[in-house]
Amino acid sequence: KQEVTQIPAALSVPEGENLVLNCSFTDSAIYNLQWFRQDPGKGLTSLLLIQSSQREQTSGRLNASLDKSSGRSTLYIAASQPGDSATYLCVMSRDDKIIFGKGTRLHILP
Amino acid sequence: DAGVIQSPRHEVTEMGQEVTLRCKPISGHNSLFWYRQTMMRGLELLIYFNNNVPIDDSGMPEDRFSAKMPNASFSTLKIQPSEPRDSAVYFCASSLRHRAEGYTFGSGTRLTVV
């Protein structure tokens, strides 16, 4: 069974710290991996998309990496800000399957 | 582009009533997805369409749920009759060339069945 696991489930860090969110998946034959952000009561916002042929993508303070051989992806957030507080979802696509992790709830302490 | 547009944003209905959720995908996208999000189960794929044709509806919980995509710019998810356990946020997403381009999500419809 395909699974996407996100660790930790929740994280609180002081403002300004760099942090890493982890995502692991059970099958390395993915097509792409996407990180989303969800704010309370809001929809999903796409942050970064990594194609299977790529190893990382960067956007501003965010960097996402993909290691298919180990079944892992990380989302690195530099110099965290209170506005980064949200739930971060990792989504794996394989063939015609799309599998979501349950997310990491991030809280940045001012 | 206005993105994926869902309506209504909020829906409160009584048990037994019919509920229709609507989605307008991004123009030119040829894949459309309906998801349901609950605290207990997270995000679940209900059904997806490629070129207006339903490809996989194995996530549709039961016969009370039905989805249609009469054309490339419109889709509906209908629940009849609705039940309190259907209360959730329902998201629609679209993509171009499913699997390759990533997904754009709508803002969701928060459904409450009382």
Query: Which residue of chain A is at minimal alpha-carbon distance from B6?
Result: A43
List all residues of chain A from 53 to 82 with a beta carbon under 8 Å from chain B. none
* Consecutive 10-residue averages of pLDDT for chain B (114 residues): 90 97 94 85 84 89 94 96 94 75 84 96
- Whether the CB of B93 is below 8 Å from some CB of chain A: the reply is yes
The residues near B13 (Cβ < 8 Å, ≥ 6 apart) are B19, B82, B111, B112, B113, B114
Contact list in A for residue B91 (CB cut-off 8 A) is 43-44
First to last CA, chain A: 40
Q: Would you state the pLDDT for residue A52?
A: 83
- Say yes or no for a CB contact (<8 Å) between B99 and A41: no
Q: Would you state the pLDDT for residue B6?
A: 96
- Whether the CB of A89 is below 8 Å from some CB of chain B: the reply is yes
Residues in a beta bridge with B6: B23
CB atoms within 10 A of CB B114: 10
- Say yes or no for a CB contact (<8 Å) between B56 and A96: yes
Place of tokens 């030119």: B28
The helix/strand/coil state of A73 is strand
Q: Would you state the pLDDT for residue A57?
A: 95
- Whether the CB of B55 is below 8 Å from some CB of chain A: the reply is yes
- Whether the CB of A4 is below 8 Å from some CB of chain B: the reply is no
Q: Would you state the pLDDT for residue B9?
A: 93
E strands in chain B: 5-7, 10-13, 19-24, 31-38, 42-50, 53-56, 65-71, 74-79, 88-95, 104-105, 109-113
Contact list in A for residue B98 (CB cut-off 8 A) is 96
Task: Render each residue's pLDDT in chain A as its tens digit; 110 residues.
Answer: 668 999 999 999 999 999 999 999 987 777 788 899 988 766 778 899 888 888 999 999 999 999 988 999 999 999 999 999 999 999 887 765 678 888 999 999 99
Burial of B19 (0-12, 13-18, 19+ CB in 10 A): buried
Q: Would you state the pLDDT for residue A56?
A: 95
Among the partner-chain residues B99, B107, B110, the one whose CB lies closest to the CB of A31 is: B99
Residue type, A30: I
Task: State both tokens at A95.
Answer: 């063939």
Sign of CA dihedral B110, A41, A86, B31: positive
- Substitution target from B36, B43, B53, B57 for chain A, most A beta carbons within 10 A: B43
